[in-house]
Amino acid sequence: MTGLEVRTTVLHNAGTDLGGVAADVSGALAELLAAVSADGAIPRNDDISAMIAAAYAAIHEMAAGSIASAVTALGGHGEGLTSMAASYRDTDQDAAAAIRAGATWA
């Protein structure tokens, strides 16, 4: 039976790609929020339009917060994957150095 094979390059690339996706989504969200903001506020001329405006503002805030939270999570997972790849790579290098130095497995 062979040991665990960790493909650190694939792991690192996946983390980098995930970080890139987070950056892309963050940029798209910023563009969307700027476009929505440019449209201006919903007029509150009467009770109905005031209720619509309040509902819109609440939905907008929840949606933007949810997407921002997802972007933060994606970025964090990307960083975690690249960190994991580095840890595996360092451990492999340390084990190889120990074997070259004559270490035995007890």
CB atoms within 10 A of CB 20: 13
Residues 6+ apart with CB under 8 A from 21: 74, 78
pLDDT tens, position by position, 9-46: 999 999 999 999 999 999 999 999 999 889 888 889 99
| Token pair for 8 | 């650190």
Whole-prediction pTM:
0.74
One-letter identity of residue 19: G
Residues 6+ apart with CB under 8 A from 64: 29, 33
pLDDT tens, position by position, 51-61: 999 999 999 99
Binned at pLDDT 50, 70 and 90, residue 1 comes out as: very low
On whether the CB atoms of residues 24 and 16 are closer than 8 A, the answer is no
One-letter identity of residue 88: Y
Categorise residue 59: left if φ over 0, alpha if ψ from -120 to 50, beta otherwise. alpha
